[in-house]
């Protein structure tokens, strides 16, 4: 009997720690989201208003704008990152010595702080003294006069590129490990049967990569929905509100407008969206066993 | 919330400890003693001349009163968060906090009303122009002292203007003509505005001087947004045309915040800049600006609309006392010292006579008596007389709790227009959003 209790005692500190740092804030913020609490008015939480904050979100044009931008931002970032990282992985997954050095170098962008990356890119994209701006202008003269962060479309392109740049190495490494772990026999058999390289890629490599593609897309979607630092440092949601993703909108509502109730509700909506994605992916992932 | 709880716990523990430690030693001196106390003053970071001058002169204050002052700096973007967090926790992390006047409406709940101190010590608040004091007053109570206030000024490069035989512009048309000439005939752009979104609505500073000088308004008497009136549209178009039609502003200005554009000016790439006067010292500081800029920057009143005159805006950056402060008496002494007319005059006189170190240069004068000071005006060709008129008559941004949100909507619209969106529909949409917001907040009930 004593032994049975003992293991719970050992678990208790971790349990209390998780309750204090995760469960309590989660529940508390949900409780706040059911209240009208404007920190500009008072430091005490306002009256209970049920789901009014959630209803308010659905009639708020700024909210819908940020949802739409989040969808564009997330979809393009995830698709681009995955496509590019598979290509990079295919190029780097050979068993050559010099490639293993390349793979180490590859991880460097990922090791940098995203906030720093955002600032650096803002600097490099500056039309007057930006390095990247000059390079683009040199290589593709018609694009020399583009102010990258100065219009809705180009700012979004810049933002997506930067986030892809950040995540590409990590995703590539995932695919490299997947590709290098594949049984060689299958490819040898395909070669014997006279399959071309493209046929091998589409009929063997990619289908066998599917479980990894799925995991990568779950992770990438979650990472992108959570992206915050590059947006703050690169565009501040601008020009206008053209790069104001949901995450940034929540931050603004909470910490600039101090509308705590509403921003908690928005936070929960974002969490729900994320959870829906995760559930869809997870279900496919569980079924994914059949593909192997 | 958890964070605030922890902060509060730590603060309470800290308070208990300090009570235990200091309680006994101070008992004989009585609760009123300020001797040996340390007053923590929260300021915005950025090598501000006036703040540096305060720091340098605080040693003398400490010797005289025994009160130590600890100046703590935080980036301007985090100022509001810092004050709010400490205010909710009643933590006493800061005794005095500097803040932008528009923040006052949301943070006055964390600030100690100063009326009782003012009354008790017969402190003369009328030393400041009424408009400045009004920026510190909420519901009839005084919450801060406007020890720092800025009038908007036009800064220009003397050397470039002389070279091209130009006069400092008096109207927007003059400014447009000068900008065009400079852009055409030199390597510099005529003017560098800041149209970028974000940055807490900085792209509204220049916009309001266009709007107000054309007789436009942001709100009417009933607080309905009217910035999309014909006058407002005309003013906005003219403001944006510097970039879009006339092309006398650098293309990058569409993304610039105030600081980006100031940097651009300091690098010597543009010949004019409109903004708060405190940066004057920075422009003429050899460590902050390019060699061809230092010593070549002069200032003038913000241009006006033809036949309607100039309406520059002012902003104050007052110091308030935190409710959670544990050293209120000492903090009040510091406030009184920082409000000393002589201190203010001394800092600026030293700057104008070239006697202050480069990081302590400041031209900020807030008090009427100093603004009208004969010697000061002699040294500056009457600049402060003009500034005094400006500070007394200038318009300010609305004092309302919802302002941060309203400013965000308008700022976003301006930024969109600068990227090439049409003026009228964009401003109409913004006005609708503002109206809806204020309606939901119960402004029209």
**Secondary structure of A31-71 in the HEC alphabet?**
HHHCECCECCCCCCCCCECCCHHHHHHHCCHHHHHHHHHHH
Which has the minimum average pLDDT: B180-189, B349-358, B414-423?
Answer: B349-358
pLDDT at B102 over 60: yes
Nearest to A73 by CA among A257, A234, A197: A234
What residues are paired with B42 via a beta bridge? B72, B97
Inter-chain CB proximity A39 and B88 less than 8 Å: yes
Inter-chain CB proximity A239 and B254 less than 8 Å: yes
Q: Which A residues in the span 69-98 are in contact with B, Cβ-Cβ below 8 Å?
A: none
| B73/A221 Cα distance (integer angstroms) | 38
The listed range with the strongest mean pLDDT (A60-69, A93-102, B234-243, B436-445) is: B234-243
A234: closest CA of chain B, how far (Å): 10
Which has the minimum average pLDDT: A76-80, B127-131, B431-435?
Answer: B127-131
Q: How many CA atoms lie less than 13 Å away from B188 in the CB half-sphere?
A: 26
The whole-chain average pLDDT of chain B stands at 86
- Please report the ipTM that was assigned to this predicted complex: 0.73
Condensed to tens digits (0 to 9), the pLDDT of residues A273-289 reads 888 877 877 777 676 54
pTM value is: 0.79
Query: Span A217-226, mean pLDDT?
Result: 88
B180 vs A4, higher pLDDT: B180
Query: For the purposes of burial, counting CB atoms within 10 Å of the CB of B305, is it exposed (0-12), middle (13-18) or buried (19 or more)?
Result: buried
Contacts of B14 (CB under 8 A, 6+ apart): none
Collapsing DSSP to helix, strand or coil, B206 comes out as: helix
Q: How confident is the model at residue B329 (pLDDT cuts 50, 70, 90)?
A: very high
A72 vs A236, higher pLDDT: A72
pLDDT at A15 over 50: yes
Which has the minimum average pLDDT: A195-209, B20-34, B208-222, B364-378?
Answer: B20-34
Residue B230: how many other CB atoms lie within 10 Å? 10
Q: Which helix (H) or strand (E) holds B153?
A: strand B149-157
* Tokens representing residue B223 in the block: 């607080």
pLDDT cut 90: percent of chain A above it = 29
Which chain B residue has its CA at the smallest distance from A151's CA?
B419
The listed range with the strongest mean pLDDT (A37-46, A103-112, A188-197, B10-19) is: A188-197
User: Where do we find the tokens 């004068």?
Assistant: B365
Q: How many CA atoms lie less than 13 Å away from A122 in the CB half-sphere?
A: 20
Out of B106, B198, B250, name the one closest to residue A40 (CB): B106
Contacts of B86 (CB under 8 A, 6+ apart): B92, B93, B94, B97, B110, B322, B324
Q: Is B229:B214 a contact under the CB 8 Å cutoff?
A: no
What is the model's pLDDT at position A292?
Answer: 40
Condensed to tens digits (0 to 9), the pLDDT of residues A17-75 reads 999 999 999 999 999 999 998 887 777 888 899 899 999 999 888 899 999 999 999 99
Domain ranges across chain B: 34-148+317-350, 150-314+400-440
State how far the alpha carbon of B364 is from the alpha carbons of A42, B92, B101, B228, B276, in Å: 33, 29, 16, 34, 10
Residue B45: how many other CB atoms lie within 10 Å? 14
Residues of A in contact with B2 (CB under 8 A): 20-21, 24-25, 28
The whole-chain average pLDDT of chain A stands at 86
Which chain A residue has its CA at the smallest distance from B433's CA?
A61
The two domains B34-148+317-350 and B150-314+400-440 share their CATH topology (first three levels equal) = yes
Taking the Cβ of residue A238 and every Cβ of chain B, the question of whether any pair is shorter than 8 Å is answered with yes
What is the model's pLDDT at position A79?
Answer: 95
Set out the domains of chain A in order of their start, with CATH numbers. 46-291 (1.10.3720.10)
Condensed to tens digits (0 to 9), the pLDDT of residues B158-177 reads 999 999 999 999 999 999 99
| B287/B374 Cα distance (integer angstroms) | 31
Query: Span A113-122, mean pLDDT?
Result: 86
What is the model's pLDDT at position A2?
Answer: 67
Query: Span A9-16, mean pLDDT?
Result: 90
pLDDT at B395 over 80: no
Measured at the alpha carbon of residue A163, what is the angle toward residues A266 and A120, in degrees to the nearest 5?
A: 110
Q: How confident is the model at residue B115 (pLDDT cuts 50, 70, 90)?
A: very high
Where b means 16+ CB within 10 Å and e means fewer, A145-183 reads ebbbbbbbebbbebbbbbbbbbbbbbbbbbbbebbeeee
- Backbone torsion region of residue B153, taken as left when φ is above 0, otherwise alpha when ψ lies between -120 and 50, otherwise beta: beta
Q: Is B247:B184 a contact under the CB 8 Å cutoff?
A: no
Taking the Cβ of residue A59 and every Cβ of chain B, the question of whether any pair is shorter than 8 Å is answered with no
Taking the Cβ of residue A123 and every Cβ of chain B, the question of whether any pair is shorter than 8 Å is answered with no
B94 vs A42, higher pLDDT: B94
Domain B34-148+317-350 belongs in CATH node 3.40.190.10: yes
Residue B338: how many other CB atoms lie within 10 Å? 22
Peptide bond connecting A239 to the previous residue in cis, omega within 30 degrees of 0: yes
Contacts of A153 (CB under 8 A, 6+ apart): none
In order, the DSSP letters of B237-296 are HHHHHHHHTS--S-GGGGT--HHHHHHHHHTT-EEEEEEEGGGHHHHT-TTTS-TTTTT-
Q: How confident is the model at residue A290 (pLDDT cuts 50, 70, 90)?
A: very low
Out of A21, A40, A150, name the one closest to residue B419 (CB): A150
pLDDT cut 90: percent of chain B above it = 53
Inter-chain CB proximity A255 and B81 less than 8 Å: yes
pLDDT at A247 over 80: yes
What is the model's pLDDT at position B6?
Answer: 54
Out of A25, A126, A150, name the one closest to residue B2 (CB): A25
A279: closest CA of chain B, how far (Å): 29
What is the rounded (10 degree) CA torsion for A123, A125, A128, A129?
50
State how far the alpha carbon of B189 is from the alpha carbons of B161, B176, B242, B273, B344, in Å: 13, 12, 10, 11, 35
CATH number for the segment(s) B150-314+400-440: 3.40.190.10
Q: Which helix (H) or strand (E) holds B315?
A: strand B314-316
Taking the Cβ of residue A31 and every Cβ of chain B, the question of whether any pair is shorter than 8 Å is answered with no
Phi, psi of B153 (to 5 degrees): -135, 160
pLDDT at B26 over 60: no
Inter-chain CB proximity A43 and B404 less than 8 Å: no
pLDDT at B155 over 90: yes
Inter-chain CB proximity A150 and B197 less than 8 Å: no
Torsion sign across C-alpha atoms B428, B429, B432, B437: negative
Nearest to A159 by CA among A67, A226, A227, A62: A227
Those residues of chain B whose CB sits closer than 8 Å to some CB in chain A are 1-2, 80-81, 84, 87-88, 105-106, 109-110, 196-200, 250-252, 254-255, 264, 269, 401, 404-405, 408, 412-413, 415-416, 418-421, 433
Query: Span B245-273, mean pLDDT?
Result: 91
Residue B160: how many other CB atoms lie within 10 Å? 22
Residues of A in contact with B105 (CB under 8 A): 40
What is the model's pLDDT at position B16?
Answer: 46
Taking the Cβ of residue A28 and every Cβ of chain B, the question of whether any pair is shorter than 8 Å is answered with yes
In terms of C-beta distances under 8 Å and separation of at least 24 residues, what long-range contacts does B356-361 make, across chains too? B356/B53, B357/B56, B358/B285, B358/B286, B358/B287, B359/B47, B359/B49, B359/B52, B359/B285, B359/B287, B360/B49, B360/B52, B360/B53, B360/B56, B361/B49, B361/B280, B361/B281, B361/B282, B361/B284, B361/B285
Inter-chain CB proximity A41 and B401 less than 8 Å: yes
B219: closest CA of chain A, how far (Å): 20
What is the model's pLDDT at position A157?
Answer: 93
Measured at the alpha carbon of residue A12, what is the angle toward residues A10 and A16, in degrees to the nearest 5?
A: 150
What is the model's pLDDT at position B25?
Answer: 38
User: Where do we find the tokens 């959003």?
Assistant: B433
What is the model's pLDDT at position B7?
Answer: 53
Q: Best interface-test mutation with B: which of A42, A150, A156 has the largest number of B CBs within 10 A?
A: A150
């Amino acid at each position: 009997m004593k032994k049975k209790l003992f293991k719970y005692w050992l678990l208790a500190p971790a349990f209390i720690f998780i309750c204090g740092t995760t469960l309590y804030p989660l529940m508390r913020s949900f409780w706040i989201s059911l209240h009208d609490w404007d920190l500009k008015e008072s430091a005490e939480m306002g009256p209970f208003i049920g789901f009014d904050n959630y209803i308010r979100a659905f009639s708020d044009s700024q909210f819908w704008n940020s949802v739409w931008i989040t969808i564009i931002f997330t979809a393009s970032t995830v698709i681009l990152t995955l496509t590019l990282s598979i290509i990079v992985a295919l190029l780097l997954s050979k068993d050559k010595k010099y490639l293993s050095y390349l793979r180490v170098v590859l991880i460097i962008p990922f090791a940098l702080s995203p906030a720093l990356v955002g600032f650096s890119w803002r600097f490099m994209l500056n039309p007057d003294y930006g390095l990247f701006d000059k390079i683009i202008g040199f290589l593709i003269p018609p694009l020399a006069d583009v102010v990258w962060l100065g219009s809705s479309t180009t700012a979004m392109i810049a933002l997506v590129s930067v986030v892809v740049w950040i995540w590409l190495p990590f995703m590539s490494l995932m695919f490299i490990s997947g590709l290098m772990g594949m049984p060689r026999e299958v490819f040898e058999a395909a070669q014997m049967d006279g399959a071309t390289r493209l046929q091998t890629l589409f009929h063997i490599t990619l289908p066998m990569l599917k479980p990894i593609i799925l995991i990568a897309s779950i992770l990438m979607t979650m990472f992108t929905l959570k992206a915050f630092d590059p947006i703050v440092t690169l565009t501040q949601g601008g020009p206008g509100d053209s790069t104001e993703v949901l995450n940034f909108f929540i931050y603004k509502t909470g910490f600039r407008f101090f509308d705590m109730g509403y921003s908690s509700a928005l936070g929960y909506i974002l969490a729900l969206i994320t959870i829906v994605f995760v559930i869809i992916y997870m279900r496919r992932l569980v079924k994914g066993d059949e593909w192997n | 919330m958890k964070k605030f709880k922890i902060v509060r716990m730590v603060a309470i523990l800290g308070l208990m400890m300090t009570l235990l430690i200091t309680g006994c030693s101070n008992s004989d001196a009585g609760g009123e003693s300020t001797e040996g106390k340390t007053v923590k003053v929260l300021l915005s970071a950025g090598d501000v001349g006036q703040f540096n001058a305060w720091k340098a002169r605080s040693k003398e204050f400490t010797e005289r009163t025994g009160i130590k002052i600890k100046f703590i700096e935080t980036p301007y973007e985090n100022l509001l968060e810092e004050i709010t967090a400490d205010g909710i926790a009643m933590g006493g992390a800061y005794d005095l906090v500097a803040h932008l006047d528009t923040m006052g409406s949301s943070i006055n709940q964390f600030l100690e009303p100063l009326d009782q101190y003012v009354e008790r010590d017969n402190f003369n608040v009328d030393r400041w122009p009424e408009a400045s004091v009004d920026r510190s007053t909420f519901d009839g109570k005084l919450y801060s002292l406007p020890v720092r206030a800025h009038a908007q000024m036009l800064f220009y490069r003397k050397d470039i203007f002389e070279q091209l035989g130009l006069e400092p512009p008096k109207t927007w048309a003059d400014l447009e003509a000068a900008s065009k000439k400079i852009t055409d005939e030199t390597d510099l752009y005529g003017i560098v505005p800041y149209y970028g979104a974000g940055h807490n609505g900085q792209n509204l500073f220049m916009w309001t001087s266009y709007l107000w000088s054309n007789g436009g308004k942001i709100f009417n008497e009933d607080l309905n947004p009217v910035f999309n009136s014909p006058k407002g549209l005309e003013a906005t178009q003219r403001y944006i045309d510097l970039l879009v039609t006339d092309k006398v502003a650098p293309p990058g200005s569409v993304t610039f915040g105030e600081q980006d554009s100031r940097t651009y000016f300091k690098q010597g790439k543009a010949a004019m800049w409109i903004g708060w006067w405190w940066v004057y010292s920075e422009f003429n500081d050899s460590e902050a600006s390019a060699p061809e800029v230092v010593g070549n920057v002069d200032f003038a009143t913000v241009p006006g609309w033809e036949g309607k005159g100039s309406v520059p805006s002012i902003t104050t950056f007052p110091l308030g006392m935190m409710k959670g402060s544990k050293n209120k008496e000492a903090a009040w002494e510091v406030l009184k010292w920082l409000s000393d007319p002589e201190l203010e005059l001394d800092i600026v006189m030293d700057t104008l006579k070239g006697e202050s170190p480069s990081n302590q240069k400041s031209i900020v004068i807030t008090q009427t008596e100093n603004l009208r000071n004969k010697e000061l005006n002699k040294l500056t060709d009457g600049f402060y007389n003009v500034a005094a008129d400006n500070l007394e008559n200038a318009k300010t941004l609305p004092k309302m709790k919802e302002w941060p949100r309203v400013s965000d909507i308008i700022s976003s619209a301006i930024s969109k227009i600068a990227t090439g969106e049409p003026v009228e529909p964009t401003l109409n949409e913004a006005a609708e959003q503002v109206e809806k917001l204020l309606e939901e907040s119960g402004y029209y009930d």
